[in-house]
Chain A
Amino acid sequence: MQKDIKRLSLILLFAPFALWITLLILLPHIGMVVLSLREKVAPRVYEYGFANYIEFFNEPIYWNTLIRTGSMSLLVTVLALIIGFPIAYYIAKIAGPRMRGALFLLCLIPLWVSDLIRAFGWILLLRETGVISSFLQWLGILSGPIEMLYNDVTVIIGLVYTVILFMIVPLASTLDGMDNSMIEAGYNLGGRGSTVLRRIIIPYAMPGIASGCIIVFMLTAGSYLTPILLGGKNSSWFTEQIYDQFITRYNWESGAAFGMLLLAFTSIVVWLGLKLTGQTLANTVTKT
């Protein structure tokens, strides 16, 4: 009797989980794989094969876009780490206890404002008639308006801005758990600032670095709004290709293939990141 109740409660608790994962994650992805392997040869006649994937590798525009998206995402990840690490260290180790809470909150607030509004804010600042251009003209530094949108540098700045909080939060919470005496010991033993950073602080912060980098890379490679709005027509971001295939050309088969390629690409990078740093997925995600 008691055992039956236990079993029943397990089944009841498992049901929502099973429904969610099966209907919203597993089946849709299986459906996408099947669709990506299908090719329309005549109206209502389909053949199965790798034609959509072969098309991707035969058309340089497609794979160049994926490589470009991947390399720019890596650059964004590295920049976010370099810019974010000192901030996280300041929040966790240098700021006083009161200040620490306030700064942490300040870091989190933009997190709750959608990417769209943040990109919109950047547009108002950077465009030809924007705040920075007008201000520089007013100061007399510029003689005419300057367009700062629609180039790669702006896209990278915009992306770093959008994702940097996901780097700072796990870093700050990892560094927060570090005992200050470890740093002091390093100095007492005659280590210089750079040595202490390299031999003590960075190894300790490694779990935070790993989880920040993985989340940031995934978010950047999968982002759509920021490259489109700040990069304009020539942003050539891979998610834009997927949208194009799905919505504009209504070619769902190759859109699904592109989607699988993006998923495979980000998964491989995430997996490599976990292997190289010796972290597990569960630890990584719960940090953020």
Chain B
Amino acid sequence: MLWGYRAYVLAFFIFLAAPLLSAATFAFNDSLFPALPWQGFTLSWFFGDTEPKLGMFYDRRLISGLYYSFIIAVMVSLLTVFIGTCNAFLFVRKDFPGKNFFYILMIVPLVIPGVILGISILVLASSAANGLENQFNFELELLRPGIFLVVLGQISFTATITSLVIAAKLKKFDITMEEAALNLGASTNRVLWTVTLPFLRSAMIAAGIVAFLVSFENFNTTLFLVGSESPLTITMFDRVHKVGSTPVLNAVSFFLMVGSGLLAILSIFVQRDKSARN
């Protein structure tokens, strides 16, 4: 009975790993197609600099996609950690009328489909841009599809995630530590910078990493807001969708798996290390 159960669990984890393994393995196959038979090991899908085996680091569109994704993810992660920290203090420390209602408003973005967030922001930004153009004959390029709108679209729901992560940590804070510092004559500002924020630092870093990863892999919201500067997921989708895929996409997949795996482990490590010391 238990053996059957274990076999089921094992089968499940094989199911979980299979597509990831197949996406990663063919990055090293010395063939023009990501398919069997195995033609021998190669690294040219990473470092090859000539057609037809142009490696990912020499593929200009993939590299610029990687660059835009990185820029977008850094901006999203910094801004959402800022919003998340403010929200954590607002909902954990403050009392104000309608607090429950606002708390639900804060959570709602997570249960709105990403596609809807994308089109609604596109609609608002475009009508604002059109309005400016018609009324004042002033073209605000920022409100047309492009990096700025992608960042806004991703913030719209990522801010909820960072708020929840940071608020959960702030709830565990022992308020007497602040009181002790205040009694010893520290100013409120000083207490914030030397006692409270250092306590929150691990959660803020972890939230930032999560936001970075969520932004980097986001597709649904980005799809509607993207301009000429396509981030990596959009560039890759175009290639997968319009046949002609070569193992260079496997190389990118492998690269992203390793990268995000390391970041995810780092975020767990940051949180664990801190909680062990407290």
Residues of chain A whose beta carbon lies under 8 Å from any beta carbon of chain B: 10, 13-17, 20-21, 23-25, 27-29, 31-32, 35, 83, 86-87, 90, 94, 103, 105-110, 112-125, 129-131, 134-135, 161, 214-215, 218, 221-225, 228-229, 239, 242-243, 246-247, 252, 255-256, 259, 262-263, 266-267, 270, 281-282, 285-286
B105:A113 contact, CB within 8 angstroms: no
The answer to whether B124 touches A31 (Cβ under 8 A) is yes
Across the interface, which residues of B come within 8 angstroms of A103, CB to CB? Answer: 9, 13
Return 16 A-B CB contacts under 8 Å, by A number: A14-B90, A16-B83, A28-B121, A28-B123, A87-B12, A94-B2, A110-B17, A112-B217, A115-B219, A119-B19, A124-B22, A215-B111, A229-B241, A243-B224, A259-B119, A286-B168
Tell me the nearest residue of chain A to B263, going by C-beta.
Answer: A112
Question: A43 CA to B5 CA in the complex, in Å?
Answer: 65
Given contacts A24-B152, A113-B257, 19 further A-B contacts (CB under 8 A): A10-B94, A13-B94, A14-B90, A28-B117, A29-B120, A32-B120, A32-B123, A114-B219, A117-B20, A121-B22, A123-B240, A125-B18, A129-B33, A223-B220, A225-B220, A229-B240, A262-B113, A262-B115, A285-B164
A25 adjacent to B22 (CB under 8 Å)? no
* A6 vs chain B, min Cβ distance (A): 9
- Given contacts A31-B123, A222-B116, A262-B113, is CB(A117)–CB(B253) below 8 Å? yes
In the complex, how many residue pairs between chain A and chain B have their CB atoms under 8 Å apart?
221
Interface residues of B in 101-138 (CB under 8 A from A): 102-117, 119-124, 127
Q: Which residue of A lies closest to B267 (CB)?
A: A112
| Residue of B with least CB distance to A232 | B241
- Complex alpha-carbon distance, A246 and B22, angstroms: 34
| Complex CA distance for A24 and B122, rounded to whole angstroms | 10
B64 at the interface (CB under 8 A from A): no
B204: min CB distance to chain A, Å:
15
A24 and B113: CB pair below 8 A?
Answer: no
Chain A residue, CB-CB nearest to B268: A105
Task: Report yes or no: A281 in contact with B111, Cβ–Cβ below 8 A.
Answer: yes
Chain B, Cβ-Cβ closest to A168: B12
Cβ–Cβ < 8 Å partners of B116 in chain A = 32, 222, 259, 262-263
Residue B75 lies at the interface, judged by CB distance under 8 Å to chain A: no
Q: Within the assembled complex, what's the spacing in Å between the Cα atoms of A252 and B34?
A: 38
In Å, the complex CA distance between A242 and B116 comes to 9
The smallest beta-carbon distance between B105 and chain A, in angstroms, is 6
A112 to B16, CA, bound (A): 13
A17–B123 touching, CB < 8 Å = no
Query: Does B177 sit at the interface, judged by CB under 8 A?
Result: no
Complex: chain B residue closest to A253, CB-CB: B123
B219 near A224 with CB under 8 A, answer: yes
In whole angstroms, how far apart are the Cα atoms of A279 and B78 in the complex?
33
CA distance A214 to B111 in the complex (A): 9
Docked complex Cα distance between A29 and B120 (Å): 6
Measured between beta carbons, the chain B residues less than 8 angstroms from A13 are: 86-87, 89-90, 94
Knowing A124-B26, A222-B220 are in contact, say whether A263-B113 is a contact too (CB < 8 A): yes
CB of B156 within 8 A of CB of A112, answer no
